[in-house]
Amino acid sequence: MNPIIKFIVIVFCFLITILCKKPLNKLDLQLLRLGMFFTVMADLFMILLDYNTIGVALFCIVQITYIARYDIDRFGKIIKKLFIIFIIIFSIYIVLVFLNNNVDFLILLALFYSICICCSLYKSLRAMKEGRYPRSNGELIVLGMILFVLCDINVALYYMGIMEFLTSHLIWIFYLPSQFLLSISGYKFNFK
């Protein structure tokens, strides 16, 4: 699929959140919109501009935003833990650079991102279990996050050179539905 078409689909998912007139609640919709906005920015840098480090950094912000969305009550504690993890990872990077090891910062940033998305998936599962969302919305969120994680597993496999042809297609097979499901997860459905 053409990169411009992929990007347009992601922008469309963001627009779905902008056009939402019947949200679950305003704060949830604002956090969803913010997460989708940073998703658009991350994809702009990764898909169209080929600046992967900036893209991954923006995807970290996406996942942190979603963590806040799924567990706003405990967000302060979570962000402190994530900050400590980031400082540790960044310190490891500084030490490796000081020791003249040629290490790509993107690898360490991807490690931090993987922690963020795993935390985000966990928080989405917990939010559904605790009934923080109506059942249909909780299911959309969890399924969207599972597909998001599956996409990122394929991204990692692709960059490791494992089954590149297959993983390059699986990335988008998982990613596009994940973004659509997340984009509609903020709507208030009237299911009986």
Percentage of the chain exceeding pLDDT 90: 68
pLDDT at position 163? 85
Model confidence over 166-183: pLDDT tens digits?
888 899 999 999 999 999
Can you tell me the distance from the alpha carbon of 189 to that of 66, in angstroms, rounded to the nearest whole number?
20
Residue 187 DSSP code: B
Q: Residues near 21 by Cβ (< 8 Å), separated by ≥ 6?
A: none
pLDDT at position 20? 87
- The amino acid occupying position 183 is S
Averaged pLDDT score across all residues of the chain: 91
Model confidence over 53-96: pLDDT tens digits?
999 999 999 999 999 999 988 888 999 999 999 999 989 888 88
Model confidence over 112-163: pLDDT tens digits?
999 999 999 999 999 999 999 999 999 999 999 999 999 999 998 888 888 8
Burial 112-138 (b: 16+ CB within 10 A, else e): bbbbbbebbbebbbebbeeebbeeebb
Look up the pTM and report it: 0.90
Task: Tell me the pLDDT band of 191, cut-offs 50, 70 and 90.
Answer: low
pLDDT at position 3? 83
